[in-house]
Structure 1
Amino acid sequence: MKKLRQITAALLLLAFLLLAGCAQPPQESASAEASASASAQPTSGAQETAPGAAWINSDVSGNVTADMQTDPKSDFNAAVNQEWMAGTELGAQAQVSTFTERGNEVMAQIMELITDESQTSHEAELVREFYNDFIDMDSRNALGMEPMLPLLEEIRAIEDMDGLTAYIADWGNLAGAPMTTEIATDWKDSTHNAIFLSAPSFSLSDADEYKSITDVGQRKKDASEVMFKKLLVRAGYTEEDAAALWEAFFALETEMASVSIGTAEGAAEDTREKSYNPKSAAELAELSPNFPVTEILRPYIDGGIDRFILMEPEWLAKMNELYTEENLEAFKAWLVYQTLTGAAALLDQECLDIMTEYSGAAAGNAQMELPTEQLAYQMCSKLFDMAIGKLYVENYVTEETKQDVTKLVNDAVAVFRQRLGENEWLSDETKAKAIEKLDNLTIRVAYPDDWSLYDYSDYALPEGGGIIDDVLAVREKSMSEKVDKAKAEVNQNLWITSPQEVNAYYRPTDNSINIPAGILGGDFYNPDGSVAEQMGALGVIIGHEITHGFDSNMGSLFDKDGNLSNWWTDEDRAAFKERTDKVGAYYAGMEVLPGKYVNGEYTIGETVADLGGMSCMLELAKGMDGFDYQTFFESWAKVWKVQETEATAEYLLQVDTHAPGYLRTNVNVQQFQEFYDAFGAKEGDGMYLAPEERLSVW
């Protein structure tokens, strides 16, 4: 699971915001998917002759050239996307893809709206004021590091553990506390919210990196160290003090991470059940008499909340051991790191340059740029997502598109219902529950029907303030609403992502499929395109998300009401695992980079969803006369066109739950006879896979 930090810390990861290569849930608190990892060797089950050996990794920039001989029967992805790949220059970008192209298109549309003074609604003026304060580099440069100095001095002045406790228990501090507190739908009572407690986010992202660091982790560590030391020196620390602070900070992180849930453990099917540990405030205090967990939670407790979900008991026990006078300076170093890195991108140009250097080094792309206007846009999108969403919908999204896509979703649901009814390997008991879950699916397309749920009327920015003042004001407003949010019942009509999001996802805790307006464009969806074009792109994505409702590591663990519940018989679960294991083993044999393979086990949820989505649309196509199968498969390939640096490919192979784009194209199409019939692929061709070896789950 991704862990949320305070709103300003999000700027650290802007370099990677556009690296997502597939549809997945947004990072919505404790119900989001876990991040993925890549194994250094194929897991058990990899074929003796590696699958896909004839395919080039066409995601890596420069691997496909204009003069290359390509053939859709040999390497489908390279053949379909050759012209685009050969003509795409990365420049300062770590990745260019269908997602980044559509994201840039949406960003340009929204930035035009943000800066358009004829937009006079309260939401438009609020966002425009924030955006203008962010890009006002003259004012920011004039202040330099000044806004940070009193905050750092306050941390430096902490003399004992009582002072440390008072500081981290104060919700007004910019660093937060060394504990993640997330409000999300209760996994076992989907009608109510719950407060989930877990370890804080780590500078290396994955707790496993602290146990056995990878090349990607080492690059990130080195970049973080350089960034932190440079910021400290700018803030007036000596180089010796900066080095000592880094050592203390990283040593403490390593201790915390040593017992935290990392990628490997997060991949286990029983992780969610093990992570669901309801505790009262008294029980938490008994478990942790030293680390002041109840003081950090005091506003919730005083607000009448006495139920918390402890996700990582071993981590809390470790925090109780670490929270001693001996480690006072280490905890202060942790606070300094969070404060500086959380706000550096809100300071002057020199700080922005340091952050840009960090992002490039961490991504393995020394040319990376973070334009101020783009950073401003991303920050606005995080803080005022639905305010911007309303502007975007009013100007760029039609009711006709919403209705057309909703019909395609309903058509896909009907196919799934039919196929579940005809399923031969599920028992009647499990089959009935699966169909019941499908019949209770919530469908959200394009934008919310009720905008009154997203009220910004009482949001205001301080007069005459700068961007730091703006962020603190919005943060204070957000914090003031937390207790009420935690106590509230879940509103099933509330969208957790904005309409402009270029994404699609299945959300298990309300059994919903979500297709925001942002993805309804570019190569994903052409309202004037042919039926085959629409079905091969957005249609398969829709089927993919519906399949997530029945995948092995997320959807199948939640029932029709969104509650964590085992609704399978043991025999059906075993039959399901046999089929998904075959998918995982096939992908595990894919050598993406020299010596680096797909983690077949951890990507199963996504690879099975891809197969389900394509199978669904091909079933729908059977009832259509003259269906253009070539266009259908080519549209799928265009969705997953990617050009990226090799370092980015390595990074994503380690952290992404999805297979690389070229594999999402090639592996999926080669499972279906319709592909062979459409393109004439036969035994001996690179795309050929014998019928008895083809993968099928749903």
Structure 2
Amino acid sequence: MNKALIKKNFYEAVNKDWLEKAEIPADQPSMSAFLELHLGIEKTLMDLTSVWESNNKELNPQLKKYIKYYQMTKDFEKRDLLGSKPFEVIKNRINGLKNLSDLEASYVDLTLDGIETPFGYYVMQDFMNSNNQVLYFGASDLFLPDTSYYKDEQSKEQMLGLFTQTSKALLALFGYNEQDGQSIIDDAILFDSLLVPVTKSSVEKADYVKMYNPLKKEEVNQKINSFGVIKTAEKLVNQKVDELIVLNLDFINAFDSIINEEHFSLMKSWMILSNAMAFASDLSDEIRVASGAFSRALSGIKEARSKEKFAFYQAYNRFGQSVGLYYGKHYFGEKAKNDVKAMVHEIIGIYEERIRKNDWLKEETKEKAIKKLSTLSVHVGYPDELPPYLDQIDIKNYDEGSNLVLEKIKMNRLINAFNYQKYNQAPNRNLWGMPASMVNAYYSPTNNQIVFPAAILQKPYYSLEQSPSENYGGIGAVMAHEISHAFDNNGAKFDEFGSLNNWWSKEDLDAFNQKSQDMIKLFDGVETGVGPCNGTLTVSENIADSGGLRCALEASKKKDDHNYDEFFQNWARVWRNKSSKEYAELLLRVDVHGPTILRANRQLSNLEEFINFYEIKEDDPMYLKKEEMVSIW
């Protein structure tokens, strides 16, 4: 560690050598501790895939399907020979739509097949009753990643210019002449502009409870005349639908003025372009590379993934749960699993202690918080079961008359049918939202559940070879971070069953909301090197970071061999990151997580123990006055 920098920039003091030497891979927007682990797992899984391809006799049926599909994705000779021809089945279906009535009649089949439409239905847990799954409804995403890009004329012109360049090159490869291609692009962008005023910004989406807007069947039918939204919903789920949860009331209120016969030709162009983008990765290599030009420019990525990596991910992304289960069982030892589980329950115990000692909550609210904590479901390593549709997938290869577009449609139909069948059913809480081979972790407020896949349980986050203090500063803080999401500005609105329910007294809720505002203030406008942090956008993650860091430090301090320096250093180490300027600027607009330099520095400055241990004084850049510190959990 560069000790001269400790009081000026602790993140740089710990990571200076790494930041100087680290290179951003040409096909990535950044390099980080997360990505280093990911790249190691990527190599392991790609090597495994090659071994399995040579001999798949011992593989289970799901992994055999994965290998068969992978052999299709990597056959670029065949893909290049087919060119854009496989997409014609989709293009012909869209071109065959003559009016809104045709779209309504075809909507269920289009949706089940995964063909993009301007609005969609999603089965998710009911916020008011987490033991049931209901139907949500909303508009499709915009072409640009956030509404803020449309509000600034300069950025709008620049971003839509880049998007148009990508679209032109792509449509030319689909066989459209310049005039027809430009006409499709112009119409699609015009339709996209109609959605902008009724689309929430990233900041608005960060408060996801506000996206829960139940409307009775009669209310929906009263507001919408141009399309049978309820009738279509009932066909999708094959049941009566008495209520829709609307993600954005602005869209429902403006539905007829956007989705109508006058705009139908614009919608068709939007569908052609959106689906050309969505299915480009299943076509020739030239088409898949061309389709990613806009997203690469947006993130500062220098080049597309190699054919080899792309083919692997295209297959892996479909069978990630199956491959991840194998990874978890074979690469994550039982000793480590037991150690991590013990660590999680220890952290939960520390969290309970901290709630009991809390000086701003009433006893009644404390007991309810502890009840929520006691019912928290913990999953470590790999799931106990996988989605059933993985057993139902039947891969047909090129020799059997299929292609990647047809296989994607077939798999989409299985997955989407499975999801819509969940309507009005209790959720299966054993299913994970990510594979065991993904470097990540998450908290589900509607399940009151935390999940730690095997992939993240590695150095620098966790290792049996690291000291306990290092592990607490890494995975311990991550664990406590995820637990803290149960009590962040979103999670705190859900009870121990995962249902939206105010379990707070008015005084305690007012105090919590004030502390949330204090956390916003602590980060809002703080410079990151590429722009100021948005404290409102990042508040939930900042609350979780703060609570997680304090709780993990408390756990570490209870150990006889606790070491402040090792704890603080590893906290800064796990957030090391080197990004392209474009990607860093993009994240400032859309990412609910704080910029990594602030997750390291600002959170540490917010701890008295850090300030005292390193003897940081008022004129040091890392200094934060005690009265400005924000402690919630």
**Shorter chain as normaliser: what TM range?**
over 0.9
Q: 1:550 deviation in Å?
A: 0.7
Identify which range, 200-209 or 409-418, moves more after superposition.
200-209
2:85 counterpart of 1:151 = no
Distance 1:218 1:674, change over 3 A: farther
Bigger shift: residues 320-329 or 678-687: 678-687
CA contact (8 A) 1:415 1:620 kept: yes
Structure 2 partner of 1:427: 362
Deviation at 1:173, TM superposition (A): 5.2
2: CA distance between counterparts of 1:476 and 1:327? 28
How far residue 304 of structure 1 moved from its aligned partner, in angstroms, is 4.2
- Separation (CA, whole Å) in 2 of partners of 1:362 and 1:342: 17
Give the match for residue 464 of structure 2.
527
Return 88-97 or 638-647, whichever deviates more: 88-97
Trace 1:352-363 onto structure 2 (pairs within 5 A): 352-363=288-299
Seen in structure 2, the aligned counterparts of structure 1 residues 666 and 351 have a Cα distance that, compared at 3 Å, is same
CA deviation vs aligned residue, 1:444-501 (integer Å, no higher than 9, x gap): 11112x3366563332112433322321221122233233222421122222222112
DSSP 3-state at the match of 1:573: helix
Aligned to 1:481: 418
What displacement does 1:341 show?
0.5
1:196 aligns with 2:136: yes
Query: In the alignment, which residue of structure 1 is the partner of 2:437?
Result: 500
> Which of 205, 217, 222 is the aligned partner of 1:286?
222
CA distances 1:156-182 after superposition (whole Å, capped 9, x unpaired): 343333333334343355533211211
Note the C-alpha offset of 1:127. 0.8
**2:536 maps to which residue?**
601
- Cα distance in 1, alignment partners of residues 565 and 3 from structure 2: 20
* Equivalent position of 1:176 in the other structure: 116
SS of corresponding position for 1:591: coil
Residue 440 in structure 1 maps to residue 375 in structure 2 = yes
Give the alignment of 1:547-566 within 5 angstroms. 547-552=484-489, 554-566=490-502
Q: Structure 1: any 5+ residue segments left out of the alignment?
A: 1-65
CA separation in 1, counterparts of 2:353 and 2:102?
Answer: 63
1:80 equivalenced with 2:19 (yes/no): no
**Partner amino acid for 2:453?**
P
Structure with the larger RCO, 1 or 2 (CA within 8 Å, 6+ apart): 1
2:257 to 321, 343, 352: 321
Q: Is the 8 A contact 2:372 2:495 kept in 1?
A: yes
Alpha-carbon contact 2:73-2:315 (below 8 Å) kept = no
Counterpart AA for 2:81: A
Note if 1:127 corresponds to 2:66.
Answer: yes
1:158-307 correspondence runs (5 A) = 158-171=97-110, 174-212=114-152, 215=155, 219-268=158-207, 272-273=209-210, 275-280=212-217, 283-300=219-236, 302-307=238-243
* Contact 2:120 2:137 (C-alpha < 8 Å) held by counterparts: yes
Q: Secondary structure at the match of 2:122?
A: strand
Distance 1:220 1:379 in 2: 27
Q: Aligned to 2:356, what secondary structure does the other structure show?
A: helix
**1:512 and 2:453 matched:** no
- Structure 2 unaligned residues grouped into runs of 5+: none
Q: Specify whether residues 184 and 219 from structure 1 end up closer, same or farther in structure 2 by C-alpha distance, changes over 3 A only.
A: farther
Q: TM-score, normalised by structure 2?
A: 0.93
Kindly state the Cα deviation for residue 78 of structure 1 after the two structures are TM-superposed.
Answer: 0.5
Match of 2:525 in 1: 589
Structure 2 distance, partners of 1:370, 1:688, is 43
Identify if the C-alpha distance between structure 1 residues 346 and 190 changes in structure 2 by more than 3 Å, giving closer, same or farther. Answer: same
CA 265–476 in structure 1, closer or farther in 2 if over 3 Å, else same: closer
Percentage identity across paired residues of the two chains? 28
Equivalent-residue separation in structure 2 for 1:322 and 1:221 (angstroms)? 21
SS at match of 1:598: coil
Report the equivalent of 2:327. 392
Segment of structure 1 superposing worse, 317-326 or 93-102: 317-326
Q: What's the offset of the Cα at 1:222?
A: 2.7
Shift of residue 412, structure 1, vs aligned partner: 0.8
- Aligned counterpart for 1:675 among listed residues 593, 610, 618: 610
Q: Answer with 223-232 or 536-545: which moved more.
A: 223-232
1:632 aligned onto 2:554: no
Of the structure 1 ranges 628-637 and 118-127, higher mean CA displacement relative to structure 2 is found in: 118-127
Distance 2:242 2:4 in 1: 63
Change (3 A) 1:110 1:301: closer
Distance 1:620 1:651, change over 3 A: same
- Secondary structure of 2:121's counterpart equals strand
Native 8 Å contact 1:359 1:368 kept in 2: no
Cα 1:658–1:174 shift into 2, 3 Å: closer
SS at match of 1:184: strand
Distance, in Å, in 1 between the alignment partners of 2:215 and 2:51 is: 49
Task: Give the partner amino acid of 1:310.
Answer: V
1:416 to 324, 330, 351: 351
For residues 452 and 565 of structure 2, the distance between their equivalents in structure 1, rounded to whole angstroms, comes to 25
Q: d(CA) in 2 for partners of 1:349 and 1:252?
A: 29
Equivalent-residue separation in structure 2 for 1:490 and 1:173 (angstroms): 23
Do the aligned residues in 2 keep the contact of 1:356 with 1:370 (CA within 8 Å)? no
**In the alignment, is residue 371 of structure 1 matched against residue 306 of structure 2?**
yes
Q: 1:194 to 1:136 in 2, by over 3 A?
A: same
CA change 1:127–1:70 in 2 (3 A) is farther
SS at match of 1:191: strand
1:648 counterpart = 2:587: no
The verdict on how the C-alpha distance between 1:369 and 1:168 changes in structure 2, with shifts beyond 3 A counting, is same
Aligned residue pair count: 624
Rounded to whole Å, the distance in 2 between the matches of 1:551 and 1:473 is: 40
The reply on whether 1:110 has 2:45 as its aligned counterpart is yes
Structure 1 residues 314 and 147: CA distance shift in structure 2, 3 A = same
- Find the counterpart in structure 2 of residue 348 from structure 1: 284
User: 8 Å contact 2:166–2:291 — kept in the other structure?
Assistant: yes
Query: 1:94–1:368: 8 Å Cα contact kept in structure 2?
Result: no
Q: Residue type matched to 1:616 in 2? A: C
Displacement of 1:558 in angstroms is: 0.7
Structure 1 SS opposite 2:123: strand
Letter in 1 for 2:239: G
**Alpha-carbon separation, structure 2, partners of 1:472 and 1:455:** 14
CA contact (8 A) 1:290 1:324 kept: yes
Displacement, 1:283? 4.4
Specify the code of the residue in structure 1 equivalent to 2:601: N
Superposed displacement of residue 673, structure 1: 3.2
* C-alpha contact (below 8 Å) 1:174/1:339 kept by paired residues: no
Output the CA distance in 1 between the equivalents of 2:318 and 2:239. 25
Cα deviations by residue, 1:133-161 (Å, 9 ceiling, x for unpaired):
11110000001111123432332343333
Contact in 2 for aligned 1:440/1:560 (Cα 8 Å): yes
User: Do the aligned partners of residues 174 and 301 (structure 1) sit closer, same or farther apart at CA in structure 2, a change above 3 Å counting?
Assistant: closer
Contact 1:114 1:127 in 2 (8 A): no
Which stretch shows the higher mean deviation, 229-238 or 432-441?
229-238
> Using a 3 Å threshold, how does the CA distance of structure 1 residues 684 and 317 change in structure 2: closer, same or farther?
closer
- Opposite residue 311 of structure 1, the aligned amino acid is L
Structure with the higher fraction of residues in helix conformation: 2
> Which whole-Å CA distance do the structure 2 matches of 1:286 and 1:190 have between them?
28
* Residue 406 of structure 1: how far off its partner (Å): 0.9
Q: Tell me if the contact between 1:593 and 1:650 (Cα under 8 Å) persists in the aligned partners.
A: no
Contact 2:213–2:246 (8 Å) recurs in 1 = yes
Instruction: Give the partner amino acid of 1:327.
Output: H
Q: Paired residue for 1:460? A: 394
Q: Which residue is equivalent to 1:541?
A: 478
Indicate conservation of the 8 Å contact 1:170/1:296, yes or no.
no
